[in-house]
Structure 1
Amino acid sequence: MTPAGRHPATGGATPAAAPPAPQPAASPATQPAFERFLLLLGRLNYSWTNTESLLIHLIAGLARTDKETAVVLFLTLNTTRARIDLVDRLAKLDRVAPPEREAVLALTRRMLRLAGLRNTLNHCIYAFDAESGDLSTIRMRVADRRKEIRMGERAALDAGTLRDIEVSLSEIAQLNNDIWRHIKAFGYPA
């Protein structure tokens, strides 16, 4: 029997009840749409991270090293772009046969294209119009022009955005399968 005030699993103090998570300042009408968006965004991030981790196997195969070494290389590079650049450069080495090279470069081109939507949705802030209840994204990027800068570009977070995420999820799943096929076809460490 656990003494009063002790957590049953750890025997430590029972944690205080956490305060409720802050809710977005969206109108009740937009709440279900935003909830759906958050679920899709979570799936997008999970799928992307899972697929990006397959670069470890491409690095191992192209660098002709073991998976453990490839993990160190992967984790040392802290951006998707840097990891893809490494894979591309390894694929362009003279020792890589043209069919293998072209297959890898086609995979990394697809990966870069698919990174766009995920990057946009993860590097923005979300706005709720108090009057209309409309949701939008505001890009956290400065765009330099010849004689001006632009920032705070807004885009509607609407049914089209949700469709784009669903299409991206499908394409990422296909890319994931294609990378696994490549890993097996060329005998990279799995």
Structure 2
Amino acid sequence: MPSRLPPKPDFEAIEAAAINSADRRTMILALIGNLVFSWSNNESMFIYILMVLLETDEVSAAIVFATLNTTRARLDLVQRLATAKINDKETAKTLDKIITRFNESTRVRNEFNHCMYTVNDRGEITHTHAMKIRESRGRLTLGELRPIDDARIAELAKSIADLRRLNRDLWEFLPRLQKAVVPLTAQPSRTQL
């Protein structure tokens, strides 16, 4: 019975040839590292947004942030708190735009964090293979195979630049958010029945 497994790579030959493609591989890995670094710093900025919305200290906000184990859950909480606490529509819209921008970057970050990388016999990183199951015409297949060519590298560099701008915008937004939050003491109390 023939094996369905792919052939085992010739690791020694790939490693020997990889010396010639080291510069490009290092550049690609540095871009992926910068993407992860920038994305993580931006996700962590939501601790300060939670701190403002919850009217608490940094440690307490970080505890709430870390207790929610997915980015989606953290952003859902931010959006719900914003609905309850922000008294300025423009500030609320700006926060929604920030979250949208962050979600767009999350798609790219997930693409590079949750994939299998294809390396050719010269040690060049040639493709990503998404680790997401797709269904097409009733058949399940492994996710999309995408080349890492010059266009993809440019896309990755643009995503990093977008994250850098988002980080600056988050820092600029925090004081505005703080002014737009209705203090707990100013909210009407509800009597229990």
Partners of 2:85 and 2:67 lie apart in 1 by 25
* Partner of residue 8, structure 2: none
Instruction: Report if the CA contact (8 A) 2:50-2:78 is conserved.
Output: yes
User: 2:77 aligned with 1:86, yes or no?
Assistant: yes
Instruction: For residue 27 of structure 1, report the CA deviation from its aligned partner.
Output: 4.3
User: 2:68 aligned with 1:77, yes or no?
Assistant: yes
Greater relative contact order structure (CA < 8 Å, 6+ sep): 2
Dislocated runs of 4+, deviation >4 Å: 24-29, 131-134
* Partner of residue 173, structure 2: 182
Relative to structure 1, is the Cα distance of residues 38 and 100 closer, same or farther in structure 2, using a 3 angstrom cutoff? same
Aligned partner of 1:147 among 138, 142, 160: 138
Instruction: Report if the CA contact (8 A) 1:91-1:105 is conserved.
Output: no
Provide, for residues 121-146 of structure 1, a one-character-per-residue CA deviation record: whole Å limited to 9, x for no partner.
01001112337956111111111345
* Partner of residue 45, structure 2: 54
User: 2:113 aligned with 1:122, yes or no?
Assistant: yes
User: 2:19 aligned with 1:42, yes or no?
Assistant: no
Task: Report the number of matched residues.
Answer: 166
Instruction: Report if the CA contact (8 A) 1:62-1:96 is conserved.
Output: no
Structure 1 unmatched ranges of 5 or more: 1-21
* Larger proportion of helix: 2
Provide, for residues 154-175 of structure 1, a one-character-per-residue CA deviation record: whole Å limited to 9, x for no partner.
1101111211111111111111
Q: What percentage of residue pairs aligned between the two structures are identical?
A: 29
Partners of 1:68 and 1:132 lie apart in 2 by 45
Partners of 1:50 and 1:134 lie apart in 2 by 26
Aligned partner of 2:151 among 145, 157, 160: 160
TM-score (norm 1): 0.78
The more displaced of 82-91 and 25-34 is 25-34
Partners of 2:173 and 2:53 lie apart in 1 by 12
Partners of 1:37 and 1:98 lie apart in 2 by 41
Instruction: For residue 70 of structure 1, report the CA deviation from its aligned partner.
Output: 0.8
- Partner SS, residue 121 of structure 2: coil
Instruction: For residue 64 of structure 1, report the CA deviation from its aligned partner.
Output: 2.2
Q: Which amino acid aligns with 2:21?
A: T
- Partner SS, residue 65 of structure 1: coil
Structure 2 unmatched ranges of 5 or more: 1-11, 180-193
Partners of 1:149 and 1:175 lie apart in 2 by 36
Partners of 1:132 and 1:58 lie apart in 2 by 43
